[in-house]
Amino acid sequence: LLKDLHWRHVATIPFENLDVILGRPIDLDPAAIHDKLVSRRRGGYCFEQNNLFRAVLAELGFAVEALSARVWWGRTDGSLPPRTHMALRVKNGDENYLSDVGFGGMTPPSPLVWEMGLAQPTSHETYRLMPLNDSRVPDEIALQAEISGAWETLYSFHPQAVDPAEFALPNWYVSTHPSSFFTQQMIAARPHSAGRHVLQERKATARALDRSEVVQQLEGAEDLGGMLGTRFGLNLPAADLGRLWARLAAS
């Protein structure tokens, strides 16, 4: 059941930061998240996605805990990143799993068994959990993905559970601070049975399971609206599309 729920979530609710780009606050109140991601059929980023999934799992009787993580993926220096990501630990039967439905274009398509060093093939990439081996944070665990034959660290986390209230500050930071990646780049991502769709600024990528890619450059607001609708299931008002495209055109 956990595996099925995880896949249905990531394949249905896209990862996206469009409200951040539009200058709208990201409300982590459970009712606000449900309204946005379920009632209005929008997407969201990790704090929204994993909070919604946590609530669903808890309602179904799973024991689920929130974890605070540091994102290493895409960093070009060795500085210690802050904890700006949320993941989940879920107990299913006698096993613990890492479940994360909100990590953009590298979101695991299924839960991962909580076992260090075990390579875990999924329908998309192969993942594993490993000790981070960084003396600055000696107790952290890394989530890694095998990409083009090499293991890449996506993020790391302390295994101690945190209260969901602890994510209010990182949510404010990633959604408002000028240096945050999410305030600088428009992003949408969603996996499907044959690969992943990823949108970053004007660049729309269709990535196959073998990681071959077909890339398309968007040419206008109508193009943007069509891409968001067909690949991500997002139907934004014309006014929002116009504002998003005006920003893209000016960059």
Distances (CA, A) of 212 to 21, 23, 135, 192, 222: 29, 34, 37, 15, 27
pLDDT of residue 167: 97
With a cut of 70, which residues of the chain have pLDDT below it?
none
pLDDT of residue 78: 85
Establish whether 4 is a catalytic residue.
Answer: no
pLDDT of residue 251: 83
Catalytic residue among 9, 85, 124, 197: 85
Catalytic residue among 100, 124, 197, 240: 100
pLDDT of residue 158: 95
Secondary structure, 3-state, 120-164: EECCCCEEEEEECCCCCCCCCEEEEEEECCEEEEEEEECCCCECH
Give bridge partners of residue 216 from the DSSP assignment. 204
Establish whether 46 is a catalytic residue.
Answer: yes
Catalytic residue among 6, 46, 124, 197: 46
Q: What is the spatial distance between Cα 161 and Cα 167, in angstroms, rounded to a whole number? A: 12
Single out the residue of 109, 19, 8, 18 nearest to residue 56, CA to CA: 8
Establish whether 100 is a catalytic residue.
Answer: yes
